Amino acid sequence: MPKKTIIYQMNDLDDKIKQHEIAEYIKAGKLVIFPTETVYGLGGNALDPNASKAIYEAKGRPSDNPLIIHIANPDDIYKYAKNIPLDATILMDAFWPGPITFILEKQDIVPYTTTGGLHTVAIRMPDHESALKLIKLSETPIAAPSANTSGKPSSTTFKHVLDDFDGKVDAIIDGGDTTIGLESTVIDLTGDPAILRPGAITKSMIERILGKRILDLSDSRPSGEVRSPGMKYTHYKPKGNVTLINGLESHVKNFIADYHIMNPKRKIAVICADEYEHLFKGHKCRPLGSINDSSMMSRTLFKALRDMDEWKIDEVFIYYKETDELGYAMMNRMLKASGYSVLDL
Ligand code: TXA
Ligand code: MG
């Protein structure tokens, strides 16, 4: 049964009546989509198993893929995690609030429905005023996966959220476009620190703060070792086929031109940096921003992937080579979107 989804603005969180209304949804086990600095989150009371179940259902997400718990006060980490290593407190002091999530041993109070049956829990304090207000007003931590239908690119605009969830959640807080555009870095701190998902807080930033090298396990392909349940599911995929293309500009240009001639009925599009748009004249192209501006490109990537569906594209080609660590985080999403299909030209 579709429900009536109520839309709120961020300043409604400062209005006495409306802030009460919004917090009541969370307290009653209902779902509220809210903006964070990374992507929108599909939020529910993290301590209420029924709320977690409702999140999995609304998202169409397999229930063994655990949720991140969002807190508004760093010290709350001790309420929901135990045996917290020194590395966690150092990273928390350095990067919270911010786009980094810690995997730690869970306290009993955190239901297994929220952690997908795991003894560990993912915790993050977002760097977004509305997200923090919502958590404080709700007087409970908020479990929130990225607010996208399972398998689709994460939502970085209010429109993405409406497209996926209008009629499926109780409320949405419109926060405009998110600033980072890629989900948080996920780091497992239950053993030797290991990055499970790269993000805007990069490996070298973490290593500099900890003063030691850390592992990067984010690159495990579908057949490889899976430390994070999220790694084994298809992600970020538009409806069309996605292929990453690598090679000299002239080769890539000719390849697209030839592909079009050989497959006249298939609608094709290329996602690339602004600097390469000229290679694909006469074809649909979705520039992400300048090759020298990874922040802009990251902010745009999920929008671009969603545009492929709006444009009804059958074959999506991504022409990109990472130039820095944020580019590496972007490449992680591009590889997943393509199902690791890479063509060297
Ligand atoms: O930026 C973000 O992290 C956004 C915003 C809303 O905060 N949230 C987000 O959540 O991206 P989600 O559920 O889409 O991604 C969480 C990732 C998944 O890959 C999940 O498998 C992993 O974190 N994860 C969660 N709990 C885990 C755990 N206990 N052990 C290992 N991986 C875990
Ligand atoms: Mg997600």
Q: Calculate the alpha carbon distances from 9 to 95, 259, 319 in Å.
A: 27, 46, 37
Ligand nearest to the CA of 62: 1
Distance, in Å, from the CA atom of 70 to the CA atom of 325, rounded to the nearest integer, reads: 25
- The per-residue pLDDT for 208 is 98
For every residue of 253-293, DSSP letters joined together read HHHHHHHHHH-TTS-EEEEE-GGGGGGGTTSEEEE-S-TT-
- The per-residue pLDDT for 1 is 61
Distance from CA of residue 9 to its chain's centroid?
A: 22
Ligand nearest to the CA of 69: 1
Q: Which residue, by CA, sits nearest to atom 19 of ligand 1?
A: 230
Residues near 86 by beta carbon (within 8 Å), at least 6 away in sequence: none
Q: How far is the CA of 319 from the centre of ligand 1 (A)?
A: 27
Q: How far is the CA of 75 from the centre of ligand 1 (A)?
A: 20
Count of alpha carbons within 13 Å of 54, Cβ hemisphere only? 23
- The per-residue pLDDT for 205 is 98
- The per-residue pLDDT for 225 is 52
Omega cis (within 30) before 97: yes
Per-residue pLDDT of the chain (345 residues; tens, 9 = 90+): 678 999 999 999 999 999 999 999 999 999 999 999 999 999 999 999 999 999 999 998 777 789 999 999 999 999 999 999 999 999 999 999 999 999 999 999 999 999 999 999 999 999 999 999 999 999 999 999 999 998 899 999 999 999 999 999 999 999 999 999 999 999 999 999 999 999 999 999 999 999 999 999 997 565 545 555 555 556 888 999 999 999 999 999 999 999 999 999 999 999 999 999 999 999 999 999 999 999 999 999 999 999 999 999 999 999 999 999 999 999 999 999 998 899 998
Decide whether any atom of ligand 1 lies within 6 Å of the 199 Cβ: no
Strand pairing category for 215-216 and 268-272:
unpaired
Decide whether any atom of ligand 1 lies within 6 Å of the 150 Cβ: no
Six token digits for residue 187 = 């780091």
* Residue 84 burial (CB count, 10 A): 16
- The per-residue pLDDT for 230 is 53
Q: With the CA atoms of 188, 194, 195 and 196 taken in that order, what torsion angle do they form, in degrees rounded to the nearest 10? A: -60
pTM for the model: 0.95
Q: Which residue, by CA, sits nearest to atom 20 of ligand 1?
A: 230
Q: Which residue, by CA, sits nearest to atom 24 of ligand 1?
A: 66
Decide whether any atom of ligand 1 lies within 6 Å of the 183 Cβ: yes
Do the beta carbons of residue 345 and residue 252 sit within 8 Å?
yes
Distance from CA of residue 126 to its chain's centroid?
A: 13
> Which ligand 1 atom is at minimum distance from the Cα of 126?
7
**Buried/exposed 290-310: b ≥16 CB within 10 Å, e otherwise:** ebeebeebbbbbbbbbbbbbe
Do the beta carbons of residue 235 and residue 242 sit within 8 Å?
no
Query: Which one of 71, 101, 114, 172 would you pick to mutate in the ligand 1 pocket, going by the greatest count of ligand atoms within 8 A of its CB?
Result: 101
Q: Which residue, by CA, sits nearest to atom 17 of ligand 1?
A: 230
- The per-residue pLDDT for 222 is 57
Decide whether any atom of ligand 1 lies within 6 Å of the 120 Cβ: yes
Ligand nearest to the CA of 102: 1
- The per-residue pLDDT for 227 is 54
Decide whether any atom of ligand 1 lies within 6 Å of the 122 Cβ: yes
Closest among 291, 229, 250 to 61, alpha carbons compared: 229
Ligand nearest to the CA of 231: 1
Decide whether any atom of ligand 1 lies within 6 Å of the 66 Cβ: yes
Q: How far is the CA of 145 from the centre of ligand 1 (A)?
A: 6
Q: How far is the CA of 275 from the centre of ligand 1 (A)?
A: 33
Do the beta carbons of residue 110 and residue 2 sit within 8 Å?
no
Q: How far is the CA of 265 from the centre of ligand 2 (A)?
A: 33
Q: Which residue, by CA, sits nearest to atom 7 of ligand 1?
A: 41
